[in-house]
Amino acid sequence: MTDATANGKPEMLTTADGKPLKAALIRAQARARRRAFLLVLPLLAFILITFVMPIGQMLHQSVYNPGFVMHEDIGSGKRTPIMTNLKVWFDENPAGTEPDEAAFAALHEDMLLLRELRAPGQVGTRVNYERGGSRSMFTKAARRAERMDPPYKEAFLDVDEEWADPELWRVMRDASSAYTFNFYLAALDRSKNADGEIVSVDENRQIYIKLFTRTLFLSVLITFLTFLLGYPIAHLLATLPLRYSNLLMIFVLLPFWTSLLVRTTSWMVLLQSQGVVNDALVGMGILGDDNRLQMMYNQIGTVVAMTHILLPFMVLPLYSVMRPINPSYVRAARSLGATSWTAFRRIYFPQTVPGIGAGALLVFILAVGYYITPALVGGADGQLISNLIAFHMQNSLNWSLAAALAALLLAGILILYWLYDRLIGIDNLKLG
Amino acid sequence: MKLKSVLMATALTGVAFGAQAQEVTVMSWGGAYTKSQVEAYHKPFTAETGIKVNSVDADNPATPIKAQVEAGNVSIDVADVEFSDAVRLCDEGLLEPIDHGMLPAAPDGTAATDDFIEGALQDCAVANIVWSTVMAYNSENVDGTPTTIADFFDTGKFPGKRGLRKSAKATLEMALMADGVPAGEVYDVLETDEGIDRAFTKLDTIKDDIVWWEAGAQPPQLLADGEVVMSTAYNGRIFNAAVGEGQPLEIVWDGQILDFDLFVVPKGAPNKDAAMKFIAFSTDTKRLADQASWISYGPARKSSGAMVGLYSDGKTEMAPHMPTAAANLENALVNNFEFWVDMDAELNERFNAWLAN
């Protein structure tokens, strides 16, 4: 260091024009940093717009559903608050209060507005998410609202006796606030009863926890299978002379470059009960024509097709880790008296662990979110949680529930990632 | 199939960018049904008005509508949807109202509002056909002749796989009818928890033998391939496979479930005027009758009935193949749209849970 002079006092270093060196250096580096930042700015903006924002929006949607509080006219985009009178009644009366005439009068007032806005369906749909069969109660009541006379309680009960159901009023109270955690409850097979206590839903309606478990189990199984199949292939690729290994590499990459749909439908051709595999087995006399194997439209189909499709994601990281391993290590171990198994276990295998980690993580995370393959070959019991998310996105149109399910899946993966980091260490990961 | 919806999503994006003034994009159900519409509606419409019709398909055209309207990126001008979906989407404000006054009168001068059969005209929808979900079988693969819906659930008497549409709608009704519930009482029973349990218990008896289908083109294929020996199907698809392609497929009309398909216009459709023109043109007496010569679905106008003649092969009389033919209506159920508007979410949730177990 040169910052100490003869008299022991630190003397400030300056540039040729007398500015302090430290400040000049910081300024120069800041310019370089700004330039570097400008270079990554497009990528940053891209990630922000296409990744962070949609995920944020999804998380928001999982706790926010304004179906009961706000109507937006699709043509003009005009927003009108709805169900405001009922909201006032809910605020004035604690949860569990039996709805009185004032409550029904408020409901009637709100119904008139709904009718005008053509919005009863929207409100009914929101309530229907938590209490099936409520939708038509709203559309019917709104149609009759103009002809209703006080007392309104009787008028509503006249349209449908279900209007007195305490559970309906609990759902309406919850829905009258746009923010709710009820969709997360639903995503965990729970709901609230009329008193607001959290309870499990009927056994024959429980599905999501089962599917989460199945998704995790199948993903682990598929990851393990790709490892079992991929490790020897990667080893072969890494140790063969280049001209052979390049040829073999094409066989690994060719399916990788082929469309996912093509590969999945090829598996359908192979596995279906009138398919190639069954025909061959029957033709060889191994199977009778009457007891063909059911290898598709069940979990077997999902596991077989997904293992094949995800195999390259295991082989490629393994290969990139195995290629640079110096064969003389193993030879040295052998010459020192290790059996081939010991040499593999103690010398070779530990050097490939970063590749296994990377491959396993890649395959696992891809498998957890897989959608098209199980949808095509999974039948009923080979469906994964992503198929249910898609169902709520496309068919039932309950986007809040879909978002809650997706958020739980995301949280699960983050936890596993954290565990992986704690157990193996993320810096041990080697992708290439 | 899902495969098709994926392809279709890609096609849609293309359409969205390519949309121009003199075009109209019509989304339908694919296969023989779309073909019948292209022949009977699209081609004559383009010939007469010069407006190009882009035809796209989905497993169920009702599903992309909400996503498109809410995202403010609508690429469909006209969609062909089921009754309960038309009512539900309209209630949610996702469809343009349709002025019934623009629909042409029947040739004898009867106003359109009187000419369409009951329920065919809705605030946001105009029906074009009456179709039905029926059970069908491959006569070469099934031993004996199934005659009732109960036979579909009897794997002892008729061994082999069964094809069923992967949705609660129609499946539950058929299970109840097979369990002995008369058509007239099906929805009363299905409204109760015991009734729902009863339907699922009936389905349990064949659960291991079911192959689920999603696109209307799948059942004739599954039957012809021998993947299943019996399947539920849209009646027109079976007719076209049997009469049009000579497949050994037969329909059992017992326990058929009738429904409308209706044209709707999503809110914010890019070519709304052309869409309305298309609907008025396609649902006139002659076009509806024409369509019936391409596929065995009943026209939604009374005045079209008399004009329905021969299949496009020029020799098959269409009338006995219509779901509405008197002989086919002996034990038939009319889909209760109000029930399904209300219970669709609830019952499909239960159905999914049942499937996963």
Residues B85-123 have pLDDT tens digits of 898 888 878 899 999 999 999 988 888 888 998 889 998
The mean pLDDT of A42-66, rounded to a whole number, is 93
Q: Best of A114, A209, A397, A401 to disrupt the B interface by mutation (most B CBs within 10 Å)?
A: A397
Q: Are residues A242 and A351 in the same domain?
A: yes
In chain A, the residue whose alpha carbon lies closest to the alpha carbon of B62 is A395
Task: Classify the C-alpha dihedral B310-B312-B314-B320 as positive or negative.
Answer: negative
Say whether pLDDT at B81 is over 90. Answer: yes
CATH assignment at residue A235: 1.10.3720.10
When computed from its CA atoms, the radius of gyration of chain B, rounded to whole angstroms, is: 20
pLDDT at A430: 64
CB contact under 8 A, A125 and B63: no
Q: Please give the Cα distance from B16 to B14 (Å, whole number).
A: 5
Reported as a pLDDT band with limits 50, 70 and 90, residue B2 is very low
Q: Which two tokens stand for residue A281?
A: 């087995």
Partner A contacted by B91 (CB < 8 A): yes
Is A197 a member of any domain? no
Partner A contacted by B193 (CB < 8 A): no
pLDDT at A257: 87
Q: Please give the Cα distance from A356 to A19 (Å, whole number).
A: 54
CB contact under 8 A, B349 and A210: no
Of B2, B341, B356, the CB nearest to A135: B341
User: Could you give the angle at the alpha carbon of A84 between the alpha carbons of A79 and A86, nearest 5°?
Assistant: 150
Is A49 a member of any domain? yes
CB contact under 8 A, B66 and A118: no
Say whether pLDDT at A386 is over 50. Answer: yes
Q: Are residues A332 and A259 in the same domain?
A: yes
**Highest CATH level, class, for B133-259+335-356:** alpha beta
CB contact under 8 A, B344 and A383: no
Q: Please give the Cα distance from A201 to A152 (Å, whole number).
A: 33
Give the start-to-end residue ranges of the domains of chain B: 2-130+260-328, 133-259+335-356
Residues A311-329 have pLDDT tens digits of 999 999 999 999 999 989 9
Scan residues 295-314 of B and list those with Cβ closer than 8 Å to A. none
Q: Tell me, what DSSP letter sits at residue A370?
A: -
Q: Are residues A212 and A112 in the same domain?
A: no
pLDDT at B13: 46
Q: Are residues A42 and A88 in the same domain?
A: no
Residue B120: closest CA among B326, B332, B288, B352: B288
The mean pLDDT of A29-43, rounded to a whole number, is 91
SS3 (DSSP) at A23: helix
User: What's chain A's average pLDDT?
Assistant: 88
**ipTM rounded to 2 decimals:** 0.72
SS3 (DSSP) at A127: helix
User: Could you give the angle at the alpha carbon of A323 between the alpha carbons of A319 and A326, nearest 5°?
Assistant: 145
What percent of chain B has pLDDT above 70? 94
Among the residue ranges A161-170, A192-201, A315-324, B134-143, the one predicted with the least confidence is: A192-201
Say whether pLDDT at B130 is over 90. Answer: yes
What is the domain extent for residue A379? 208-428
Which of chain A's residues have a Cβ under 8 Å away from the Cβ of B4? Answer: none
Residue A299: closest CA among A379, A375, A370: A379
A214 — alpha (psi -120 to 50), left (phi > 0) or beta? alpha
Say whether pLDDT at B225 is over 80. Answer: yes
Q: Are residues A51 and A162 in the same domain?
A: no
Whether B41 and B14 have beta carbons less than 8 Å apart is answered as no
Is A193 a member of any domain? no
Q: How far apart are the first and last CA of chain A?
A: 40
Min Cα separation A351/chain B (Å): 42
CB contact under 8 A, A273 and B210: no
Q: Are residues A169 and A266 in the same domain?
A: no
Q: Which amino acid is at B226?
A: G
Residues A263-272 have pLDDT tens digits of 988 998 898 8
**Highest CATH level, class, for B2-130+260-328:** alpha beta
Is A45 a member of any domain? yes
CA B68 → CA A72, A104, B4, B272, distances in Å? Answer: 15, 36, 18, 15
Is A200 a member of any domain? no
Which of chain B's residues have a Cβ under 8 Å away from the Cβ of A391? Answer: 348, 352
Which of chain B's residues have a Cβ under 8 Å away from the Cβ of A393? Answer: 67
Partner A contacted by B261 (CB < 8 A): no
A151 — alpha (psi -120 to 50), left (phi > 0) or beta? beta
Is residue A381 classed exposed, middle or buried when 0-12, 13-18 and 19+ CB atoms within 10 A define those classes? middle
Which of chain A's residues have a Cβ under 8 Å away from the Cβ of B64? Answer: 394
Residue B356: closest CA among A213, A294, A201: A213
A270 — alpha (psi -120 to 50), left (phi > 0) or beta? alpha
Q: Which two tokens stand for residue A62?
A: 């999982």
In chain B, the residue whose alpha carbon lies closest to the alpha carbon of A374 is B2
User: What's chain B's average pLDDT?
Assistant: 88
Q: Are residues A365 and A249 in the same domain?
A: yes
Task: Classify the C-alpha dihedral B173-B177-B178-B181 as positive or negative.
Answer: positive
State phi, psi for A186 to the nearest 5 degrees.
Answer: -60, -35
Q: Which two tokens stand for residue B62?
A: 């009702």
Alpha-carbon dihedral angle through residues B174, B179, B183, B189, given to the nearest 10 degrees: -100
Min Cα separation A411/chain B (Å): 23
pLDDT at A10: 64
State phi, psi for A350 to the nearest 5 degrees.
Answer: -55, -30
What percent of chain A has pLDDT above 70? 96
CB contact under 8 A, B345 and A396: yes
Whether B131 and B256 have beta carbons less than 8 Å apart is answered as no
CB contact under 8 A, A395 and B63: yes
CB contact under 8 A, B349 and A132: yes
Is A196 a member of any domain? no
Min Cα separation A394/chain B (Å): 5
Which of chain B's residues have a Cβ under 8 Å away from the Cβ of A210? Answer: 356-357
Which of chain B's residues have a Cβ under 8 Å away from the Cβ of A212? Answer: none
Q: Are residues A20 and A77 in the same domain?
A: no
Among A11, A33, A63, the domain-final residue is A63
Q: Please give the Cα distance from A167 to B205 (Å, whole number).
A: 34
Of B3, B66, B346, the CB nearest to A397: B66
Which of chain A's residues have a Cβ under 8 Å away from the Cβ of B69? Answer: 74
Whether B140 and B205 have beta carbons less than 8 Å apart is answered as no
Say whether pLDDT at A76 is over 80. Answer: no
Q: Are residues A289 and A261 in the same domain?
A: yes
When computed from its CA atoms, the radius of gyration of chain A, rounded to whole angstroms, is: 32
The mean pLDDT of A317-343, rounded to a whole number, is 92
The mean pLDDT of A50-59, rounded to a whole number, is 92
Q: Which two tokens stand for residue A223?
A: 């990851």
CB contact under 8 A, B352 and A391: yes
Among the residue ranges A161-165, A300-304, B9-13, B250-254, the one predicted with the least confidence is: B9-13
What contacts B12, CB < 8 A, 6 or more positions away? B56, B64, B75, B76
Q: Which amino acid is at A369?
A: G
Q: Omega of the bond prior to A324 within 30 degrees of 0, cis?
A: no
Say whether pLDDT at A4 is over 60. Answer: no
Min Cα separation B268/chain A (Å): 7
Task: Classify the C-alpha dihedral B229-B231-B233-B235 as positive or negative.
Answer: positive
Question: How would you label A35-74 residue by residue, b for 16+ Cβ within 10 Å and e otherwise?
Answer: eeeeeeeeeeeeeeeeeeeeeeebbebbbebbbbbebeeb
Residue A164: closest CA among A173, A174, A153, A149: A153
Residue A395: closest CA among B223, B67, B234: B67
Is A199 a member of any domain? no
pLDDT at B57: 93
Provide the 10 A C-beta neighbour count for residue A199.
Answer: 11
For every residue of chain B, which 3-state class applies, written as one string?
A: CHHHHHHHHHHHHHHHHHCCCCEEEEEECCHHHHHHHHHHHHHHHHHHHCCEEEEEECCCCHHHHHHHHHCCCCCCCEEEEEHHHHHHHHHCCCECCCCHHHCCCCCCCCCHHHHECCCCEECCEEEEEEEEEEEEEECCCCCCCCCCHHHHCCCCCCCCCEEEECCCCCHHHHHHHHCCCCHHHHHHHHCCHHHHHHHHHHHHCCHHHEEEECCCCHHHHHHHHCCCCEEEEEHHHHHHHHHHCCCCEEEEEEEEEEEEEEEECECCCCCHHHHHHHHHHHCCHHHHHHHCCCCCCEECEHHHHCCCCECCCCCCECHHHCCCCHHHHCCCEECCHHHHHHHHHHHHHHHHHHHHC
pLDDT at B262: 95
Q: Are residues A243 and A152 in the same domain?
A: no
Residue A166: its H or E element: helix A166-175
Among A63, A98, A117, the domain-final residue is A63
Q: Are residues A157 and A304 in the same domain?
A: no
Residues B142-156 have pLDDT tens digits of 888 999 999 999 999
How many domains is chain A built from?
3
Residues A356-373 have pLDDT tens digits of 988 998 999 999 988 888
Whether B255 and B183 have beta carbons less than 8 Å apart is answered as yes
Q: Are residues A301 and A401 in the same domain?
A: yes
Whether A303 and A219 have beta carbons less than 8 Å apart is answered as no
Whether B224 and B247 have beta carbons less than 8 Å apart is answered as yes
pLDDT at B21: 53
